[in-house]
């Protein structure tokens, strides 16, 4: 489920133990908030360095732009990815303007 809430965009993710959100990147930084459950995050930096961390809710992490990341549910749970709205020039804006690349 995706929604705009004030000055942020939220992408909700629910899953069961063993579910994987395949590796992907985004155009801008975003925060991932772990609400319920436990998760393993594998991140590959642009220089090829791989960082792996485990999170138990409640917790959060910052995912930098252009960092390929994969999230595995190590327990049933839910996390939200939270993005700033942006314009086509990449500047943070306060209201959703429909520019979808801000959340890709």
**pLDDT tens digits, 63-79:** 999 999 999 999 999 99
Q: Helix (H, G, I), strand (E, B), or coil: what is residue 30? A: strand
Contact (Cβ atoms closer than 8 angstroms) between residue 99 and residue 87: yes
* Interval 4-30: pLDDT, tens: 999 999 999 999 999 999 999 999 999
pLDDT at 1 over 90: no
φ, ψ at 98 (rounded to 5°): 85, 5
For 2-86, CATH number out of 2.60.120.10, 3.40.1010.10, 3.40.50.20, 2.60.120.380 equals 2.60.120.10
Distance CA 103, CA 85 (A): 8
- The pTM of this model reads 0.92
Express as a percent the part of the chain with pLDDT over 90: 95
Q: CA triplet 17, 19, 23: central angle to 5 degrees?
A: 135
Distance CA 19, CA 77 (A): 10
Express as a percent the part of the chain with pLDDT over 70: 100
């Amino acid at each position: 489920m995706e929604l705009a809430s004030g000055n942020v965009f939220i992408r909700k993710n629910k899953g069961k133990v063993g579910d994987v959100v395949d590796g992907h990147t985004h155009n801008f930084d975003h925060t991932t908030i772990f609400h319920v459950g436990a998760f393993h995050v594998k991140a590959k930096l642009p220089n090829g360095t791989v960082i792996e961390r485990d999170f138990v809710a409640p917790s959060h992490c910052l995912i930098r732009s252009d960092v390929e990341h994969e999230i595995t549910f190590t327990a049933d749970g839910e996390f939200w990815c939270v993005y700033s709205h942006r314009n086509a020039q990449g500047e943070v804006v306060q209201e959703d303007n429909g520019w979808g690349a801000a959340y890709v």
